[in-house]
Structure 1
Amino acid sequence: MTTFRTIDDLDSGQRLLVRIDVNVPVEDGVVQDSRRFARHAETIRELLADDHAIALLAHQGRPGRTTFVSLAQHADLLADHLGREVGFVDDTYGEDALAAVGDLESGEVLLLENVRMCEDELPEESPEAKAETEFVRTLAPKFDAYVDDAYSAAHRSHASIVGFPRVMDAYAGRVMVDEYTATTAIRDRAFDGPITLVLGGTKAEDTIPVVERLADTVDRFCLGGVVGELFLRADGYDVGYDVTGTDLFDHQWDAHQETIERTLESSGDCIALPTDLAYEGDDDERAETTVEGVTKDRPFLDVGSGTAERYADAVADSAAVFVKGALGVFEDDRFADGTVTVLSAIADADCYSVVGGGDTARSLELYELEEDDFSRVSLAGGAYVRALTGEPLVGIDVLERG
């Protein structure tokens, strides 16, 4: 269980520095709305009701990527969710930012510029080193306390995550607490029945260690996406390698072959693999093939309908289900059947359920699945994976030591 302080422990009427995570897709320069704005708006609304003055820190993209943009649009989107004005300054800790912070009054919200535009933010360094940066040393004295609501960045040892808690009173926001509680439930809670973990997506290197480390905790793993094909390859099937137009399999196989083969040998009884796969046929329609006797000559884009139904049956018989990653290319409705079938089964099941990862959460929106039908829809990716496997999260550690 956690031992960090939460916003319930704050005295009212303080000047707060609040870290949120509204890192979202950017399409043709336009920042897209997402659940992240709605979730953080709930925390901010609660803090405003307690008469706090709030300055927000957040990031968007990384230097050199098309998603690395100013947070000016984010302020407008957040204002829409809050139903009130959110100020914005295109500065993070320079004179303009400090002047805007100085003018903040109780009940007001200010968003500072993208923290990744600060040289001090990105390098992965110790909390002690981050606490000594000019960024932290300049901004921290202007506030009474720091609130971290950015659970999805809790695995990053960046200045805005780990530096401020070393020099300020630090508290966890609602998103931080709720996400951490949900994603650690697989190791912190006892369930009266089978635990099922559904793993997919393209980043097999993130999910392969999950299978190995949770083999003694999880009763069954249902695999799809890249990780499913890689395990099929280890099981002797002619899939799980790159063909023309893909660059997803071979480098991950080379890096993790030994782990995959070892895990399959030691824990194969609890690992469910696809028995059929879907691909784009010659008529551009969805087509399916069994994995028996198949030779891979084109990309596979989803698990087959038989696999999806088998996984749905496993979900229906579970006391708890955790999901990380989609089972197919759900953005294309021809190849969404696997993901949607399993998510729909989870929504209908009488079980504790956590759906994790930004892409998987987006599939709920695309196919009009109700968030309330799941115990938690987690917006975290890397932090979720680490929480599942019990790895420490530096953003949690600094709050617990604060």
Structure 2
Amino acid sequence: MSFKTLDTADLAGKRALVRVDINVPMADGQVTDDTRLRAILPTVAKLRAGGAKVILLAHFDRPKGKRVPEMSLAPLAAPLAGLVGAPVAFAGDCIGPAAKAAVDAMKDGDVLLLENTRFHAGEEKNDLDFAKALAANGDLYVNDAFSAAHRAHASTEGLAHLLPAYAGEQMRLELTALDKALGDPERPVLGIVGGSKVSTKLDLLRNLVTKLDKLAIGGGMANTFLYAQGHDVGASYCEKELAETAREIIRLAGQHNCKLFLPIDIVVAEKLAPGAAARVRALGAIDDEERILDAGPETVERLCRAMANSKTLIWNGPLGVFEIPPFDKGTVAAARYAAELAKAGKLVAVAGGGDTVAALNAAGCADDFTFVSTAGGAFLEWMEGKELPGVAALAT
């Protein structure tokens, strides 16, 4: 997809309405993870350097169209200012007199944060009048919030039709990386999909088996596939009612020449607890009270060989219950090997989704992946092959 970037924009003296995602975790009024704040810095810097007035639009939590004081964006102005290296003003509304007065007071290069767009019901309804009220304070629109691009809201989609629209630097980075992974990848392409439930990733699996050369399934969802193939899964989490669906996906993979990798050995324990006694079992060699909690060493070794024989990797979801050692071993070993290949320039490795990012950070190798997306729902919907309204609206 082609879209306009800030490289082509006339910025001097312009009011730039910039949709960002700074929906960060907070505790006692303090930001506990500033990853999303830091992600917007390249766009803010580029706009300021070009002489634009930078006006940030964002949501926070789910106030459902009402003003909820504890969901105000006001506490983010100070940490943003620290990261930007310049004052960040705050306006108590994103439209109306308060917003207009704050925008009118700006000089070129200034940064202003407007109040939570979701305090207005028109935001999530993608109401045209609300979008026009937002647009009244801007000369151009920049979307730098890929993680919110799967929502057709006024500030993510509607605005793009009312003002000259551009992709921000983080949006450009995200779209370029995703195109390398699934749009126009270097083949062979290997996918890894983990997590607990097949039911939440049916669309994803059905899309991927038609596009990938190889697909490895791990985590709790692998149990459903093993059960569908007639293997005993003991007391493991398993969506047994989806056994036929799993068999359908296996058939679909065969029809599209996508090689499926399911576990060939498993790590089991009777209870899920830190330091629990874990045993490696062959498929089917599981006691009634045992639970499958990680991929076995042979499974991980085979997966690493598949990575070494691939040119592109796209990863969503852990191979086991990585949050609780020793059931993190499979995910950590595979992640570190993928990172090693990526760092050596032998593999384009793209990963995304909340649990995946947490797993890569826990393995200490996220920085060595080609690209790690912090977007959750948007990343999944993109992998499912769905059109993202916020991205489609930027198309030229």
Using the size of structure 2 for normalisation, the TM-score is 0.87
Q: Structure 2 residue aligned with 1:73, among 72, 75, 78? A: 75
Q: Distance in 2 between matches of 1:86 and 1:236?
A: 60
Aligned 1:27-38 pairs, distance under 5 A: 27=27, 30-38=30-38
> Is contact 1:206-1:385 (8 Å) kept?
no
Q: Distance in 1 between matches of 2:51 and 2:120?
A: 30
1:93 matches 2:95: yes
Q: Structure 2 residue aligned with 1:271, among 250, 260, 263? A: 260
Q: Distance in 2 between matches of 1:217 and 1:141?
A: 43
Q: Which amino acid aligns with 2:324?
A: D
Distance change (3 Å), C-alpha of 1:108 and 1:234: same
Q: Distance in 1 between matches of 2:236 and 2:118?
A: 34
> Is contact 1:210-1:389 (8 Å) kept?
yes
Q: Distance in 2 between matches of 1:362 and 1:398?
A: 30
- Alignment partner, residue 373 of structure 2: 378
Q: Distance in 2 between matches of 1:338 and 1:189?
A: 29
Distance change (3 Å), C-alpha of 1:63 and 1:139: closer
What's the offset of the Cα at 1:370? 4.7
Identity among equivalent positions (%) equals: 36
- Alignment partner, residue 153 of structure 1: 148
What's the offset of the Cα at 1:299? 5.3
Aligned 1:1-400 pairs, distance under 5 A: 2-13=1-12, 14-27=14-27, 30-63=30-63, 69-123=71-125, 130=126, 132-133=128-129, 135-191=130-186, 193-202=187-196, 204-239=198-233, 250=239, 254=241, 257-267=243-253, 270-274=259-263, 275-279=265-269, 281=271, 284-286=274-276, 287-290=278-281, 291-295=283-287, 297=289, 300-349=292-341, 350-371=346-367, 373-400=368-395
Q: Distance in 1 between matches of 2:371 and 2:296?
A: 27
> Is contact 1:301-1:328 (8 Å) kept?
yes
> What are structure 1's unaligned runs of at least 5 residues?
124-129, 244-248
Distance change (3 Å), C-alpha of 1:283 and 1:224: closer
Q: Distance in 2 between matches of 1:355 and 1:297?
A: 34
What's the offset of the Cα at 1:203? 5.3
- Alignment partner, residue 246 of structure 1: none
Which SS does the other structure have where 1:334 is aligned?
A: coil
Q: Distance in 1 between matches of 2:234 and 2:353?
A: 22
Distance change (3 Å), C-alpha of 1:43 and 1:74: same
Q: Distance in 2 between matches of 1:205 and 1:159?
A: 30
> Is contact 1:237-1:292 (8 Å) kept?
yes
What's the offset of the Cα at 1:284? 4.8
What's the offset of the Cα at 1:240? 9.3
Q: Distance in 2 between matches of 1:27 and 1:326?
A: 27
Q: Distance in 2 between matches of 1:72 and 1:284?
A: 39
Q: Which amino acid aligns with 1:367?
A: A
Q: Which amino acid aligns with 1:324?
A: N
Q: Deviations over 1:282-315 (max 9, x none)?
A: 9852413424132564654432333223222221
What's the offset of the Cα at 1:190? 4.4
Q: Deviations over 1:261-291 (max 9, x none)?
A: 2012342671111220344659852413424
Q: Distance in 2 between matches of 1:299 and 1:115?
A: 45
Distance change (3 Å), C-alpha of 1:232 and 1:94: farther
Q: Deviations over 1:322-355 (max 9, x none)?
A: 1112223333343322221111111111111101
Which SS does the other structure have where 1:293 is aligned?
A: coil
Q: Distance in 2 between matches of 1:29 and 1:242?
A: 40
Q: Distance in 1 between matches of 2:149 and 2:235?
A: 33
Q: Deviations over 1:64-93 (max 9, x none)?
A: 8x9x73223333332232222222233222
Q: Distance in 2 between matches of 1:298 and 1:30?
A: 42
> What are structure 2's unaligned runs of at least 5 residues?
none
Q: Distance in 1 between matches of 2:86 and 2:371?
A: 27
- 169-178 vs 325-334, which deviates more? 325-334
- Alignment partner, residue 126 of structure 1: none
Distance change (3 Å), C-alpha of 1:29 and 1:234: farther
- Alignment partner, residue 127 of structure 1: none
Q: Distance in 2 between matches of 1:95 and 1:103?
A: 12
Instruction: Note the aligned Cα RMSD (angstroms).
Output: 2.8
Q: Which amino acid aligns with 1:343?
A: A
Distance change (3 Å), C-alpha of 1:131 and 1:30: same
> Is contact 2:274-2:326 (8 Å) kept?
no
Which SS does the other structure have where 2:351 is aligned?
A: strand
